Amino acid sequence: METAVFYVLATIAVASAVLLVLFRNPVYSALSLVATLFAVAGLFVLLNAYFLAAVQIIVYAGAVMVLFLFVIMLLNLGHSEALESTVGRYRLTGVIFLCALLVAQLTAVGTRQLRGPVAENEALRTENVQTLGKLLYTDFLFPFEVASIILLVALIGVVVLVKRETPETT
Amino acid sequence: MLSDYLPIVLLLVIAAGFAAVNLGITHLVGPRKPNPVKLSPYESGVPNIGDARLRFSVKFYLVAMLFIIFDIEVVFLYPWAVVFKDLLAQGTFVFTEMVVFLGVLVLGLAYVWRKGGLEWD
Amino acid sequence: MFEIDWNILLPSLVVAGLVLVVLCVDIIRPDNKGGVSGYLSLLGVGVAIWVSLSLWGRSPTHGLGGMLFLDNYALFFNLIILAGTGLTIFVSTGFLEREEGGRSEYYLLILAATLGMMLMAAGADLIVIFLGIELMSIALYILVGFFRRRTDSNEGSMKYLLLGAFATGFLLYGIALVYGSTGTTNLREIELAVAQGRVYTHPMLLGGVALLIVGFAFKVSAVPFHMWAPDVYQGAPTAITGFMSAGPKAAAFAAFFRVMVASLGDLSGDWSGAIWMLAALTMTVGNLGALSQRNIKRMLAYSSVAHAGYVLVALVAANERGIAGGVFYLLAYAFMNIGAFAVIVALGRKGDENLEISGYAGVGFRHPGIGLAMTLFMVSLAGLPPTAGFFGKFQIFSAAVEAGYIWLTVIGVLNSLVSVYFYLGVVVSMYMRQPVGQAHAVSMTPFARVALLTASLGTLYIGLAPTSLLQMARQTVSALL
């Protein structure tokens, strides 16, 4: 059962990722990316990473995709001919590089070099969020506080880059 | 385990199916007698000028970014709320650390507010 | 159950508090031009330097759940980073006024970047190092694009963001693979796992190490991951260019050295070849690229690439002398490079930054003080005695010879010779070319004078009396080896 679900989700993820690249209209591409993100969220559920699945949907499929669509509309990317000319020159190089990467990955997985026994963690499966929360708010407390400063800097950066410098003089 | 997710899958299937079936039925059953006036965006007769794809104002970007940043803040609150009672037994640091985290971001919000980032103009 | 050792946190806490204080200034007075913030930042940086110095020499510890180190290595880098930040703030006050870009966010972002750098130097966990890099990078992306009306500033910011995000992806993937193969992100535990052979699969670990090298190589702008440097250095506000070439580079090297030598030192047989190639390429491409530049900021960008190559030589050697030499060289480089950018700022005018090297003709006679300082910095960057640059390079190259990397040393020395040509080209232009057009008055604020004087004296002092600082640099090594 789980294997079947895995293959369904993996197929959706890969197929919509391929479509994301193939679509000419950036809005379609963005929506295709949403499908990929949902499928990956499903894969996280299969791995018992419930919290990660929820975050994937709330933050990525929700908030980040909204930003993607906004940017597409901000730049008015209805017509992608401009992109075409610059990308075209590097297409062959890109394809060769990616094929080489694919072969390398397949051989690594195929020769089982990257596999080994996987330790089953019962706590992670049944109490995923609790385990994660305890780790995050005790051992990883310091990185958590640093994250707040990073968010703060991002906040300031947005205002610096978007907001008019002195509203009264403009 | 996996069967817990059956309702969600069911919901997805029903939602997608409802849309597909409805579109399919109207496509099959509905009569189609197109003419140029009918196919124009506004059938009321108002002539359309220009493209519907306008360049959006960059102000939307500010709103979207603020949304993402505070969205991520809320994501951090979720596991915290789950383990709050367990960790409270070991001391109040679990409360303090979230106050510090939120305090920094509240200062950020105050900054955005004072800079007029929450106003449209 | 949760003990916080405040000493470990203290240096970063001072800077973090400073960030919030400057933010509060902005909240209270949203329309200020950043004057107060500048003074506050300087004061705070001074306090942070004092704190770092007072913690010097204690036995190395780590704390906060194994997230941060407190050792001489981190403290020495704190000094480099804070010196860079302080000098940049001195240079910036007048610069911002002239360019009419004064906003207190500028100082806030510089301080946030400083905090990120300090975390990179002190991080005892790959997560902390990653967060430090992100904090620094995000602040720098914004600072590069700070002059919104200038298109080259925007272009530089955009390129830096795109390539930087790409490099961050590599770094994160590397961290994930290292975690997957060792089961931990903690640097000390990685070291133990590697030493005891408790590695899940060896190829996965090596893949992770390779991706980590790519990520760090981007941050130190090593060839072939240097493509962003010239455009970003040229586009960024000049004071920020000086800032970027000193602190962030030193911090990236701090994390790079610590991860490679302290945690993955047992694998040095696997990675030293790759770093060897990186070092040789970086020195050569950097110096050859600088030869043909007419814009002084672009020339210094390539020069900064080349200097990353020299420090990479120290990483290849990875012995006591090499690490001490690399650390020492980064300190010397911070002074001479920020000094050079302070001169560039001083010679610019509003609306005309005067960045062509040919525009420096006659500066040596019109403004003797500035000309003398620039000559000192150029001589030091070229690595001629009796300056800081010479002594640092000497340490690094003799360490490489000691470790048996003769060819790399030969490449390095040849590169130094090439570099003399373009560094002295600036000096020749200042003293021996006939100036075109009439002279412009140079008005330096007292702050800028202080910055220029400090950088010059620092460069001279490090070159003439290097013993005490080299002694300090040697004391940092025990944290790694």
Q: Does C156 touch chain A (CB under 8 A)?
A: no
Candidate ranges A67-81, A104-118, C25-39, C232-246; pick with highest mean pLDDT: C232-246
- What are B15-36's pLDDT values in tens digits? 999 999 999 999 899 888 888 8
- What are C96-107's pLDDT values in tens digits? 888 776 677 899
> Does A170 have pLDDT greater than 50?
no
Average pLDDT over residues C421-448: 82
Better pLDDT: A22 or A112? A22
Which residue ranges make up each domain of chain B?
A: 2-114
Which residue in C2, C33, C138, C141 has the most chain B C-beta atoms within 10 A of its own C-beta, making it the best mutation to test that interface? C2
Answer whether CATH 1.20.58.1610 is correct for domain B2-114: yes
Write down the pLDDT at residue A122: 67
Residues, chain A: 170
Classify the C-alpha dihedral C131-C264-A136-C6 as positive or negative.
negative
Average pLDDT over residues A67-77: 79
- What are A101-134's pLDDT values in tens digits? 888 878 777 666 555 555 666 666 677 888 888 8
* Residue pointed to by tokens 């330097």: C49
Picking from C343, C345, C349, the residue whose alpha carbon sits closest to that of residue C372 is C343
Write down the pLDDT at residue A169: 41
Q: Does C189 touch chain A (CB under 8 A)?
A: no
Residue A99's identity, in one-letter code, is C
Q: Do the interacting molecules here have an ipTM over 0.90?
A: yes
Residue C400's identity, in one-letter code, is A
Query: Rg of chain A over CA atoms, in angstroms?
Result: 21
Residue C431's identity, in one-letter code, is Y
Write down the pLDDT at residue C51: 94
Better pLDDT: C212 or A23? C212
Average pLDDT over chain A, rounded to an integer = 81
Better pLDDT: B40 or C85? C85
From chain B, the residues in CB contact with A126 under 8 A are none
Average pLDDT over residues A17-23: 88
Structure tokens of B35? 């003419």
Please state, as a whole number, how many other Cβ atoms lie within 10 Å of the Cβ of residue C176.
Answer: 15
From chain B, the residues in CB contact with C26 under 8 A are 111, 114-115
Residue C286's pLDDT band (boundaries 50, 70, 90)? very high
Distances in Å between the Cα of B80 and the Cα atoms of B85, B98, C238 are 9, 8, 44
> Does C198 have pLDDT greater than 90?
no
Our CA-based measurement puts residue B107 at a distance from the nearest CA of chain C, in whole angstroms, of 8
Buried b (16+ CB within 10 A) or exposed e, A85-108: eeeeeeeeeeeeeeeeeeeeeeeb
Average pLDDT over residues C33-43: 86
CB A147 within 8 A of CB C132: no
Write down the pLDDT at residue C6: 84
Average pLDDT over residues C295-316: 93
CB C430 within 8 A of CB C377: no
Picking from C216, C212, C237, C221, the residue whose alpha carbon sits closest to that of residue C140 is C237
Ranking A140-149, C120-129, C144-153 by mean pLDDT, the lowest is: C144-153
Calculate ∠ Cα C129-C258-C470, nearest 5°. 125
Write down the pLDDT at residue A168: 43
Residue C305's pLDDT band (boundaries 50, 70, 90)? very high
- The count of CB pairs under 8 A between chains A and B is 140
Residue C480's pLDDT band (boundaries 50, 70, 90)? confident
Write down the pLDDT at residue A167: 47
Write down the pLDDT at residue C382: 92
Average pLDDT over chain C, rounded to an integer = 90
Average pLDDT over residues C319-323: 90
Average pLDDT over residues A129-150: 90
Our CA-based measurement puts residue C265 at a distance from the nearest CA of chain A, in whole angstroms, of 22
Is A148's CB within 8 Å of B105's CB?
A: yes
Ordered by where they begin, the domains of chain A are 1-79 (1.20.120.1200)
HSE, side-chain direction, 13 A CA sphere, residue C237: 30
Query: Touching A: which chains, 3+ CB pairs < 8 A?
Result: B, C
- The count of CB pairs under 8 A between chains B and C is 21
CA atoms of A151 and B103, how far apart (whole Å): 12
Write down the pLDDT at residue C368: 87
CA atoms of C128 and C132, how far apart (whole Å): 6
Picking from C365, C86, C341, C364, the residue whose alpha carbon sits closest to that of residue C236 is C341
- What are C395-427's pLDDT values in tens digits? 999 999 999 999 999 999 999 999 999 999 899
Q: Is the previous residue joined to A143 through a cis bond, with omega within 30 degrees of 0?
A: no
In chain C, positions 377-416, which contact chain A (CB-CB < 8 Å)? none
- What are C346-405's pLDDT values in tens digits? 888 777 777 888 888 888 888 888 999 999 999 999 988 888 889 899 999 999 999 999
Write down the pLDDT at residue A79: 57
Average pLDDT over chain B, rounded to an integer = 86
| Helices assigned H by DSSP within C258-319 | 268-291, 296-317
